[in-house]
Chain A
Amino acid sequence: MSEAAKGARQLALVFDLNKCIGCQTCSVACKVLWTRGEGEDYQWWMIVNTVPGRGHPKDWEQMGGGYREGVPQPGRLPKREEWGGGWDFNYEEVFFGGKGQEAYLRPVGPEPTWGPNWDEDQGAGDYPNAYFFYLPRMCNHCSRPACLEACPRGALYKRDDGIVLRDEERCRGYQFCLEACPYKRVFFNFARGISQQCILCFPRVEQGVAPACVRQCPGRAVWFGYLDDEEGPVYKLVRLWQVALPLHPEYGTQPNVFYIPPLAPYPYNPDGTLDKENPRIPIEYLERLFGPKVREALSTLRQELEKVRSGGTSELMDTLIAYRWHDMFKPFDRDPVETSWS
């Protein structure tokens, strides 16, 4: 990796998949703040998907990109219908057409076939041992950003705080970035002819305010801060306790969004008793998402949980519970109301 592409420090997020309830408050916080402009209607820089699932865009994990043994892998552009979303609704008819009793709210135009959260709560497995969990997905602000390396115009750059940012003036909408991004978190603006992606709320971050997706989470399920801040929870969860893992590390881009893997309740035996020997979510599935280290991460989580259950204390469990909200994103805990935005 070139030094120019390497941020001096790295901002990172940790999502606790045991706490995320799929409420999409993060998604909507991002949406109302950043993607209400022309051509941005279908863009969800932050979205929570149900997994196992096909995700957003549909089957993104099969679209290529990223690196294998350091070599860029060809990726394919998603079709617009594989993103879905950005629908127009018949508000006029329902709210102002005098047909409120008969008309119901529905998308107008072509019948939607996919959307940002199309397979919500479907998951996998059979009753009574069905399973699913929520996976918040956003730009990973990778340490080796495939988007940045793919762009022939140098329109993408990595700031000293690790944020991967796009110069919209230099972007000419070639979409090599979108092909190369294995997470498919780049969005083409069909109206403006340029690509766009999560900016990690850099204007907030510069004023000491955490990104909107972080600050608005009602479940205290996400931490934010510098990865090398040894006093901060991000460092402790990722580096010290190693219970927060990147999504698809095999893609080779060194992502900086990390996830605490889900423990999930015990499955049932056929006789209705709890099966305490086997996990409800197949470990192979979690390994496919988070790599082989997920076994050890889950084992650490169980041990620490057991400590607390048997009357002991655990700094890890206290961190995950997040007693003090501000501690989740210090020093970016300034209230946006107290800042001025010029």
Chain B
Amino acid sequence: MKAVRLQLALRTLLNPAAPQWQKVPEEVIPLVGTPLHLQPTRYIRTAWADRLIGAVRAVRVKVAFSSTHIFFRLQWQDPNHNVDYGDGTTFPDAAAILFPINGDAPLLTMGSPDSPVNAWFWRANLRAPQNLVAHGLGSVEKAEGPPLWAQATWTDNEWHLVLARALGEGNFSAVALMPGREVKVAFAIWEGGNQERGGLKAFSQQWRILQVGQGRGQL
């Protein structure tokens, strides 16, 4: 994957409908449900044994960066527009972008005690996206990090979401994102209408390498 340089203001690129996004190449990333046997409790493994995990099958991703920020535009099909807890039996739709904080973190287990992962977590009912850190399944915590921005719209049975953060060095709870560097990245989507929450989600099975290019004015 390549991030394309676009010298535009934060508020411009945060808009998923901004025309400039049309110039950015798109990658279709297939998603699969998280494996049943890795769900952390016996209750969940039993209750979901015969249920579909991971209702969303693909996410279309575009990545851009400016001199100050990096932007991920995610688009996925979801005929159920879940923006809250509905009648009490659904959950808000959500999406996350995952990064290893230090190179080797395992994706399938959301990191490990020694190798944490950093997630940017957007959920349709949250005022702002959350910066999360996980050291393994069931260990997600909110963590201090550079501010995250998000803007989302739901049109024609699809979510359109842009998540953004300032470029910069990382720390123990935030991934380093610098021009000229590569970073591993993965994606997850929760279909709230299918009661997906927590570890019940669709995810991209492998880390993908994202090149945050160095050139300027590529477009």
With contact pairs A72-B42, A79-B87, A80-B87 given, residues A172 and B125 touching in the complex (Cβ less than 8 Å): no
**With contact pairs A77-B88, A79-B89, A80-B88 given, residues A154 and B43 touching in the complex (Cβ less than 8 Å):** no
Chain A count of residues within 8 A CB distance of the other chain: 30
CB < 8 Å: which of A79, A179, A188, A193 contacts B47? A179
> A80 vs B89: C-alpha distance in the bound complex, in angstroms?
8
Q: Are B88 and A72 in contact (CB under 8 A)?
A: no
CB 8 Å contact bits of B23-60 with A (1 = contact, 0 = none): 00000000000000001111110110000000000000
Q: Interface code B126-140, partner A: CB below 8 Å = 1, 0 otherwise?
A: 000000000001101
| A81 surroundings in chain B (CB, below 8 A) | 87-88
Main secondary structure of the interface of B (DSSP, over half): loop
Instruction: Specify the chain B residue showing the minimal Cβ separation from A83.
Output: B88
Interface residues of A in 27-79 (CB under 8 A from B): 71-79
A-B residue pair count with CB separations less than 8 angstroms = 66
Chain A proximity of B140: nearest CB distance (Å) = 7
Within 8 A of B (CB), among A177-216: 179-180, 188, 190, 193
A146 at the interface (CB under 8 A from B): yes
A188 adjacent to B42 (CB under 8 Å): no
Instruction: Point out the residues of chain A lying under 8 angstroms from B39, CB to CB.
Output: 152
Q: Are A151 and B41 in contact (CB under 8 A)?
A: yes
Question: Is B172 interfacial (CB-CB < 8 Å)?
Answer: no
Partner of A149, one of B41, B89, B197: B41
Residues of A within 8 A of B84 (CB): 190
A58 to chain B, nearest CB (A): 12
A152, B47: Cβ atoms closer than 8 Å: no
Closest B residue by C-beta to A64? B47
Beyond A78-B88, A152-B40, A188-B85, 19 additional pairs, beta carbon < 8 A? A72-B43, A72-B46, A72-B47, A74-B46, A77-B89, A79-B88, A149-B41, A149-B43, A150-B41, A152-B138, A153-B138, A153-B140, A172-B197, A174-B198, A175-B197, A176-B44, A179-B43, A190-B84, A190-B88
